[in-house]
C-alpha cells in the first residue's frame, strides 16, 4: 500500500482531536502526495481494531471517505473560480455586488455570513461570499460548470477500486434551474465523497492537471 504509517498515525491523532473538540460524531482525513497521487493516509473516526473485528460496530467499520455522500459547501468554491477564470468570465479584479449579505433569486434567499457589498472576485473567494460565488457561477453557466465538475471527477467513482466507492450525486445540467446553478456554485445541491474532494483538490494542487489517486504501489 501507499499508506505511510507515520503520516497515518499523525492524521488519526489530528482527526480524533478535531472531532472531539467540536463534538462531532465522525470524521475522515485523507493525505495525498501531489506529485504521484499516492494516498499517504486514509483515516476515519471513530476507530476500530481490525484484529478484534467482531467487537466493533458497523458505523465504526464504515469506509466514510469512499462511501459517505455530503454537500461540500464552500469547499466547492475554488473549482467554480478556476472554471470561471479559465473561461475568462472573470478576472481576479472584477468587482461583484454582494448585495449587502442577502440576495433574493427566483423567490429564494441566498445569504452571506457578513454583509459584504462590493468585492473584487479574489476577495469573493477570500471572504467566501456565497452571493458573489453564485453570481460567478451564473455567469459561467450550468453546462460549463457541469463539464468542469465532471473533469474533476465528480459524478463518478474515484477509481481506487474499493468495493464501497460511491459516485456521489451530480445531476445533469438540463435539470438545473437558475437557483440550482447558483447553489451548486457554493456547494449545495451536489453530493460528493471525501475521495472525490481530495482528487479534485489534487488537480488544483497539480496546476490544473488531473492525476489518478493511487492506493497500491506498482
Q: pLDDT, tens digit, for every residue of 145-189?
A: 999 999 999 999 998 888 789 999 999 999 999 999 999 999 999
pLDDT at 114: 93
pLDDT at 163: 78
Q: Give dist(CA 185, CA 144) in Å, integer.
A: 12
Q: Give dist(CA 47, CA 35) in Å, integer.
A: 29
Q: Give dist(CA 137, CA 145) in Å, integer.
A: 7
Residue positions annotated with a catalytic role? 74
Lowest mean pLDDT, pick from 31-35, 61-65, 116-120:
61-65
User: Are the CB atoms for 19 and 27 separated by under 8 Å?
Assistant: yes
Which grid cell is 98?
Answer: 454582494
3-class DSSP assignment, residue 45: strand
Q: pLDDT, tens digit, for every residue of 85-122?
A: 999 999 999 999 999 999 999 999 999 999 999 999 99
3-class DSSP assignment, residue 207: coil
3-class DSSP assignment, residue 73: helix
Q: Give dist(CA 207, CA 112) in Å, integer.
A: 29
Q: Calculate what percentage of the chain has a pLDDT beyond 90.
A: 87
Question: Using 50, 70 and 90 to split pLDDT, how confident is the model at 32?
Answer: very high
Amino acid at each position: 500500500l501507499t499508506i505511510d504509517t507515520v503520516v497515518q498515525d499523525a492524521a488519526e491523532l489530528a482527526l480524533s482531536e478535531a472531532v472531539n473538540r467540536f463534538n462531532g460524531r465522525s470524521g475522515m482525513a485523507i493525505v495525498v502526495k501531489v506529485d504521484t497521487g499516492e494516498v499517504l493516509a486514509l483515516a476515519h473516526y471513530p476507530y476500530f481494531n481490525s484484529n478484534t473485528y467482531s467487537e466493533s460496530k458497523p458505523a465504526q467499520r464504515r469506509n466514510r471517505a469512499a462511501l459517505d455522500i455530503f454537500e461540500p459547501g464552500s469547499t466547492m468554491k475554488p473549482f467554480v473560480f478556476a472554471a470561471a477564470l479559465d473561461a475568462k468570465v472573470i478576472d481576479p479584479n472584477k468587482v461583484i455586488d454582494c448585495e449587502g449579505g442577502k440576495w433574493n433569486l427566483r423567490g429564494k434567499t441566498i445569504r452571506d455570513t457578513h454583509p459584504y457589498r462590493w468585492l473584487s472576485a479574489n476577495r469573493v473567494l477570500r471572504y467566501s461570499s456565497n452571493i458573489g460565488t453564485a453570481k460567478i457561477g451564473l455567469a459561467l453557466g450550468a453546462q460549463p460548470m457541469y463539464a468542469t465538475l465532471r473533469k474533476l471527477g465528480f459524478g463518478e467513482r474515484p477509481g481506487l477500486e474499493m468495493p464501497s466507492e460511491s459516485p456521489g450525486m451530480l445531476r445533469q445540467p438540463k435539470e438545473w434551474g437558475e437557483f440550482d446553478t447558483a447553489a451548486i456554485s457554493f456547494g449545495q445541491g451536489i453530493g460528493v465523497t471525501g475521495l472525490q474532494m481530495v482528487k479534485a483538490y489534487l488537480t488544483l494542487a497539480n496546476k490544473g492537471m488531473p492525476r489518478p489517486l493511487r492506493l497500491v504501489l506498482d
